[in-house]
Amino acid sequence: MTTDILFSWCPYAATALLAVGFGVRYMQLRNQPGFGTLNIASWNEPRRRRLLQYCLLLLVIGHLSELLFPRQVIVWNASPLRLYLLEGVLFVSGVSVFIGFLWEIVRHLDHSDGSVVTQGADTMFLALLFVGFLSGLFTAAAYRWASSWTVVTLTPYVLSLVHAAPNIAYVIEMPSLIRLHVFCAFGCMAVFPLTSIAPVFIAAFHRSGAVVLRPIAGIVQNKITRIENQLRARNPMLWRWPEEED
């Protein structure tokens, strides 16, 4: 029963908390000065940290590829050389990110900026990431060729969640280490909107939305203005009391 709740209902609860949390924080932050110019300060730091960030990007791309392009991953892994290359790159990237992540934990413990809620959320988020990274590395070491078996186990599970018909059979028989890795991902989703880094992503989303919707905004505004003018011209109250038009 506990497993059913963790992998059937918790993903939806985490997604709801992520969406609601982002929405609430966006409403709080959008009118603050400098909101649209928020940046990730660490991207301006030394190259050794940028290398870790690029490794994190590779890790994210690898996980997303397994979820979004399972057939292509299977075809790629059909060649042993390509399989070794993919597994090696992902494992080295994971180790590099984990080392950099330990440094971030030390920095977090040395600084106490922000509200109590933000500090608590940061601590919880970092703890979940720590367990998630560690379990992921142990999974890659203990259960080889994760990129191949993931696309036939975890990918169908995620798709079943998307179709609102969670099939936990793909997860329930998996080793506890892998289930822990998956659960930590959902936990990070739920906590992330409360963290100190969330405003950076919210600001990036705001800027991206403004660029994408800018051409549409003018068209929508013209449509709204035209509808308002038509409603005003057909307002029966103006026929009975013309003075209301002024």
For 80, the enclosing helix (H) or strand (E) is: helix 80-110
Summarised one tens digit per residue, pLDDT across range 152-172 is 888 888 888 888 888 888 888
**Is residue 219 domain-resident?**
no
Please state which of the ranges 74-78, 114-118, 239-243 shows the lowest mean pLDDT.
239-243
**Is residue 81 domain-resident?**
yes
The residues, any chain, with a CB within 8 Å of residue 150's CB and separated by 6 or more, are 66
The residues, any chain, with a CB within 8 Å of residue 149's CB and separated by 6 or more, are 143
For the chain, how many structural domains are there in total? 1
**Is residue 217 domain-resident?**
no
**Is residue 105 domain-resident?**
yes
**Is residue 246 domain-resident?**
no
Q: Indicate yes or no: pTM above 0.85.
A: no
Give the domain CATH number at 97.
1.20.950.20
Domain span at 131: 2-199
- Picking from 73, 45, 211, the residue whose alpha carbon sits closest to that of residue 151 is 73
**Is residue 9 domain-resident?**
yes
**Is residue 101 domain-resident?**
yes
Torsion of CA 43, 44, 48, 50, to 10 degrees: 30
Angle, helices 176-191 vs 116-142, to 10°: value is: 150
Summarised one tens digit per residue, pLDDT across range 123-152 is 898 889 889 989 998 988 888 888 888 888
**Is residue 236 domain-resident?**
no
* C-alpha pair distances (Å), 9 with each of 89, 161, 163: 33, 10, 13
